Amino acid sequence: MGKTAIEKIFAAHTEDEVAPGKVIWLKLDVRTARDFAGANVVKRFREAYPDERVADPEKTFFTFDCNAPANTIAYAQNQQTCRVFAREQGIRVYDVDSGIGTHVLLEEGIAVPGATLVGTDSHMNILGAVGAFGQGMGDVDIAFAFRHGRTWFEVPPTMRVRIRGNFEYPVTAKDLTLFLVGKLGARGALGKALEIEGEAVEALDMAGRITLCSMATEMGAISAFLPPSDSLWEFVEGATGRRDFPYPTADPDAEYIQELEFDVAGLKPIIAAPPRPDNVHEVSELEGERVDTVFVGSCTNGRYEDIRTVAEILKGRKVAKGVVLKVAPATRRVWGRLLKEGWLEVLYDAGAVISHAACAGCAQGQLGMTGEGEVQLSTGNRNFPGKQGKGPTYLCSPATAAASALFGKITSPERL
């Protein structure tokens, strides 16, 4: 019997039988820890392996993005603990000036097609955007991975989702993603790997692929995998100088636990209302509701293309009086390109607050927190109560965020 995408990746990284439900001894290509839980990884490692070293320093990294630069003494201490350990072990640190860790792994060519990566980030499955297996784990598991370069993992079953039809701007990858979250729900893909295919999926640029894979977590999925595309290979070649990676695609006779099909022809801009990412509606259904702040960024929508979309809508215009627009690029590279091409100036002229590259408010660390009763639109991936503060948060695309910032109320970009 043929194998699914995740089964092919696992088969290349273990000597055990790979089949859904089997527990395998999985070789890890890359092991990471971020400033969130990173210090606990160091603590666990020192407790369990006081006189030993990490398995392979060249494949082990720290990434600081949750609270970067640190705005509390506790986070500053956590980061410094990781830095000291990294010096002792010869590990590279992508420090507070780098940006969101998963995006840095992609840009630096560390996450590549067919690779296995683990870290302390619950959205490591974003790496499926390049056909890599990424998995978030707790500090004890990551400390073990640091030491041994392997982990035990249960092979998940795979669900296949076919997307029929196409959509056009101002409908974007985020609208497609929220549409799927709404269809599957928070537990619809629980414990499964997702394969999402279709002409509309293959047409996504790299930013769109990242957006779609980043919210696999909000569907309960272990990972999401997409078909290869020209945009994927252009990105991979730019990051690594190569295109000859074995991209994991399912065999024709692969077995799926479930197969679903959705038609997105005529799809409209989508928004997720509080208190859950799967509480989705067409933006037009909620138009007119007051907005106090708008946050553009996060691992879901902090790429150059996302922020440029906002700037293009705002060019020559002003954010509505009484609304604060907050923008945080995903990485230093993204920030620099926006700066050099003049898009940050456009955002400044429109009245936006522009932050350094980091997770920002999405991780309850920096820019983007809300007070009680403060209504926020966010391009992030979660809107649970307390996730970004005490105020209610709606999830939307960068285009919807920009349109709503202009009018001071929820507004579909179709109105522009």
Q: Name the residue with tokens 């799926």.
A: 256
| pLDDT at 103 (0 to 100) | 98
177 touches 215 (CB < 8 A): yes
* Distance in angstroms (rounded) separating the CA atoms of residues 98 and 64: 8
Q: Name the residue with tokens 């860790």.
A: 101
Report the pLDDT averaged over residues 176-191: 96
Report the pLDDT averaged over residues 322-339: 97
| pLDDT at 362 (0 to 100) | 76
All structural domains of the chain: 21-153 (3.30.499.10), 158-263 (3.40.1060.10), 270-411 (3.30.499.10)
**Confidence label for 364 from pLDDT (cuts 50, 70 and 90):** low
In single-letter form, the type of residue at position 207 comes to A
Report the pLDDT averaged over residues 383-394: 89
**Considering only CA atoms, which of 147, 152, 63 is closest in space to residue 116?**
152
Q: What is the pLDDT of residues 88-114, one digit of tens each?
A: 999 999 999 999 999 999 999 999 999
Q: Is the dihedral of CA 228, 229, 233, 239 positive or negative?
A: negative
Residue 262, CA distances (Å) to 111, 160, 179, 333 in order: 30, 11, 10, 36
- Its pTM stands at 0.96
* Distance in angstroms (rounded) separating the CA atoms of residues 107 and 121: 17
Q: Is the pLDDT of residue 366 over 80?
A: no
183 touches 262 (CB < 8 A): yes
Report the pLDDT averaged over residues 351-355: 96
Q: Name the residue with tokens 């840095």.
A: 104
| pLDDT at 121 (0 to 100) | 93
Q: Is the pLDDT of residue 405 over 80?
A: yes
| pLDDT at 388 (0 to 100) | 83
In single-letter form, the type of residue at position 388 comes to Q
Q: What is the pLDDT of residues 268-289, one digit of tens each?
A: 999 999 999 999 999 999 999 9
Q: What is the pLDDT of residues 208-250, one digit of tens each?
A: 999 999 999 999 999 999 999 999 999 999 999 999 999 999 9
**Considering only CA atoms, which of 361, 307, 351 is closest in space to residue 329?**
307
Q: What is the pLDDT of residues 244-268, one digit of tens each?
A: 999 999 999 999 999 999 999 999 9
Half-sphere exposure (Cβ direction) of 226: Cα atoms closer than 13 Å: 32
Report the pLDDT averaged over residues 61-90: 94
**Considering only CA atoms, which of 284, 279, 271 is closest in space to residue 384?**
279
**Considering only CA atoms, which of 354, 294, 287, 286 is closest in space to residue 320?**
294
Q: Is the pLDDT of residue 368 over 80?
A: no
Q: Greater confidence, 386 or 309?
A: 309
370 touches 379 (CB < 8 A): no
Angle in degrees, 0-180, between the axes of helices 398-407 and 304-314, rounded to the nearest 10? 30
DSSP string, 312-357: HHHTT--PPTT-EEEE--SBHHHHHHHHHTTHHHHHHHHT-EEPPS
Q: Is the pLDDT of residue 365 over 70?
A: no
Q: Is the pLDDT of residue 152 over 80?
A: yes
